[in-house]
Amino acid sequence: MKEIKNKKNKKIAIVTLSATAGVATGVAIGTGVFTALLRVKNSEKSDIKFNNPIDELKNKRDEILKFITENGSENVSDELFKKLNEFNSVIDKNSSLSADQILKMLNDSGYLLAFAKIRVTIKNEQDPEQSINDLKKLFKDDAIRNRASSIIQDYDQRIKQAKSKEDKLALVDQLENTLKDLYNEQTLINSRLDKAVINANGLLKDPNFKISEDLKSQIEGLLNKISKLENIDANTSEILADRLENLIDKALNENS
């Protein structure tokens, strides 16, 4: 995958990206996920590093590529292109990453992409209401979501009332900056659970990691439950993280 350096190269780069569009429509490239574990005892915690890029990174990279191919590189910010190049570098080099590093890449790019979708609807003179309301999905804690929803609804009305495309886009910029602290607060609340989910998925998908069927079933069941939860407050997040981390430790002990 060629690196995309700046806006001047966007139209050239899109040709390269379009050639991979068949793969980039949500299908993860490759199945080798997790070939080695580095378990370091530190206050009874396990630090797992993924030596091969995992599906979460590939799927997010493909989501960004799909957005670019469908909407044109001119509608993509330099920040999002920078994130895309970061994903490509990690995936192409099979970089070793911790769950913390993976989670930061996913969170940062997810936030940028959500606002890129709003901007492209405005630039195309379409109604951005749905893409603006989709911002609420970034917030799972009820208290934080309520605060974010109030801000989002206020800006939704202001964007509707703005007369020019430039004024609307300026309000989107303001909204992105205004919500950032709340988004950081949300990601902090869920970070322990999100990292546990990444680690658990990595274990399950590693062909070299042996795990009993009973324990595998328990982990898969809990992951399925977590994936279906739309609202997760701080207390629930901690409880679920405890349960998942305990199952991960059992799996690691089976392989020690």
Among 53, 56, 74, 65, residue whose Cα is nearest residue 24: 65
Q: What percent of the chain has pLDDT above 70?
A: 79
Question: For 55-107, what is each residue's pLDDT tens digit?
Answer: 789 999 999 999 999 998 888 889 999 999 999 998 888 777 888 899 999 99
Question: For 137-162, what is each residue's pLDDT tens digit?
Answer: 999 999 999 999 999 999 999 999 99
| Number of neighbours of residue 103 by Cβ within 10 angstroms | 20
Integer Cα distance of 256 and 247 in angstroms: 14
- What pLDDT is stored for residue 42 in this prediction? 31
* Three-class secondary structure of residue 98 per DSSP: strand
**Quick check: 113 and 80 in contact, CB under 8 A?**
yes
Tokens representing 107 are: 């969170």
Lowest mean pLDDT among 27-31, 171-175, 187-191: 27-31
Question: For 229-243, what is each residue's pLDDT tens digit?
Answer: 988 999 999 999 999
Residue 222 has pLDDT above 60, yes or no: yes
